[in-house]
Amino acid sequence: MRRPAAVRVVGPLQWIIYPALAAVAATVILATPAELFGLRLPEPVIPMVLAFAWPLIRPSMLGAAMLFALGLFLDLFWNGPLGLWPLCLMGVYGAVLASRSLLAGHEGLVRFAWYLVCVVAAFVLAYAIVALRAGNPPAILPVVGQVAPTLLLYPLAHWLIERFDDGDTRFR
């Protein structure tokens, strides 16, 4: 007689909803006006990690819709132009989704290089939109101060991909 195998089902609640709520909570916490030795807390674009990881884990319309909602949250929370961060996050999601077959099987340096390219491209797009909208380019140092901590979040993206990739053993 055959024994039933344990099936580990990973649903959208685990790999989409909980990380999205954690990204919102971390964004709110890092926006607190706390200073230590004259330095403020960094304000990375935490949903950028999700925009990179979700298409590699499992492409889903729910993931894209949640990224759009997270982008609108960032626009409203940071009082930016409405639609700026949804466009940037969806651009990263689309670029990673289009290159998903090329990234399959790669990890480490190759995946980090693609994360770096996607994040920098998203910030260049955001910088261009803000500069065109305001008629004056914003200061570059605060932008670099937001890009650097966003790039430092790559280990979180790597952990998400390793944790949830092929999480549902029914599809192996």
**What secondary structure letter does DSSP report for 170?**
G
**What secondary structure letter does DSSP report for 32?**
S
Q: Which residue has the tokens 């024994």?
A: 3
**What secondary structure letter does DSSP report for 15?**
I
The pair phi, psi for residue 46, each rounded to 5°, is -65, -35
DSSP one-letter string for 119-130 = HHHHHHHHHHHH
pLDDT at 143: 94
> How far, in Å, are 64, 80, 82, 108, 155 from residue 161 at the CA level?
16, 30, 29, 11, 10
pLDDT at 172: 42
pLDDT at 62: 92
Each residue's pLDDT tens digit, 20-52: 999 999 999 999 988 888 888 889 999 999 999
Rg (CA), the chain: 18
Q: How far apart are CA 100 and CA 18, in angstroms?
A: 23
pLDDT mean by block of 10 residues, the chain; 172 residues: 59 86 95 85 93 91 95 95 96 95 84 96 96 92 94 94 68 42
- Determine the distance from the C-alpha atom of residue 102 to the mean position of all C-alpha atoms in its chain, rounded to a whole number: 19
Give pTM, 2 decimals. 0.87
pLDDT at 149: 96
Per DSSP (E only), the strands in 31-172 are: 35-36, 39-40
What are the structural domains, with CATH classification, of the chain?
12-167 (1.10.1760)
